[in-house]
Amino acid sequence: MPMRKEELQEIRDAVARLCAGFAGEYWRELDRARSYPTEFVRALTQAGYLSCLIPEEYGGTGLGLTAASAILEEIQKSGANGAGCHAQMYIMGSLLRHGSEAQKRKYLPGIARGELRLQAFGVTEPTAGTDTTSIRTTATRDANRYIINGQKVWTSRAEHSDLMLLLARTTAREEVKKKTEGLSVFLVDMREALGKGLTIRPIRTMINHSTTEVFFDNLAVPAENLVGDEGKGFRYILDGMNAERILIGAECVGDARWFIAKASAYAAERRVFGRPIGQNQGIQFPIARAYMATEAAALMVDRAAHLYELGQPCGKEANMAKQLAAEASWQAADMCLQTHGGFGFAEEYDVERKFRETRLYQIAPISTNLVLSYIAEHVLGLPRSY
Question: Sorting pLDDT into bands at 50, 70 and 90, what band is 1?
Answer: low
**Confidence at residue 177, expressed as pLDDT on a 0 to 100 scale:** 94
pLDDT at residue 111 is higher than 90: yes
Q: Kindly tell me if the per-residue pLDDT of 15 is higher than 80.
A: yes
- The closest alpha carbon to 220, from 102, 151, 141, 121, belongs to 141
Whether pTM > 0.75 for this model: the answer is yes
What pLDDT is stored for residue 174 in this prediction?
94
Query: Helix 315-340 and helix 351-359: axis angle, to 10°?
Result: 150
pLDDT over threshold 90, residue 213: yes
Residues of the chain with pLDDT > 90, as a percent, come to 92
> What digits encode the pLDDT tens for the residues 276-332?
999 999 999 999 999 999 999 999 999 999 999 999 999 999 999 999 999 999 999
| 288/91: higher pLDDT | 288
28 CB-near residues (< 8 Å, 6+ apart): 347, 348, 350, 353
Q: In the structure, what pLDDT confidence band is assigned to residue 194 with cuts at 50, 70 and 90?
A: very high
- Mean pLDDT over 354-376 rounds to 95
pLDDT of residue 210 exceeding 90, the answer is yes
pLDDT at 240: 83
Average pLDDT for 16-37? 97
User: Which region among 20-29, 90-99, 107-116, 265-274 has the lowest average model confidence (pLDDT)?
Assistant: 90-99
Is the pLDDT confidence value at 91 over 90?
A: no
Average pLDDT (215-238) is: 96
**CB-CB contact of 94 with 237 (8 Å):** yes
Q: Could you give all domains of the chain from N- to C-terminal order, each with its CATH number?
A: 5-116 (1.10.540.10), 119-232 (2.40.110.10), 235-379 (1.20.140.10)
Q: Lowest mean pLDDT: which of 52-56, 94-98, 142-146, 273-277?
A: 94-98
Band (pLDDT 50/70/90 cuts) for residue 349 is very high
pLDDT at site 38: 97
Give the three-class secondary structure for 147. Answer: strand
Which one, of 76, 154, 33, 36, lies nearest residue 358 by Cα?
76
Count of other CB atoms within 10 angstroms of residue 64: 17
Distance (Å, whole) CA 319 – CA 4: 25
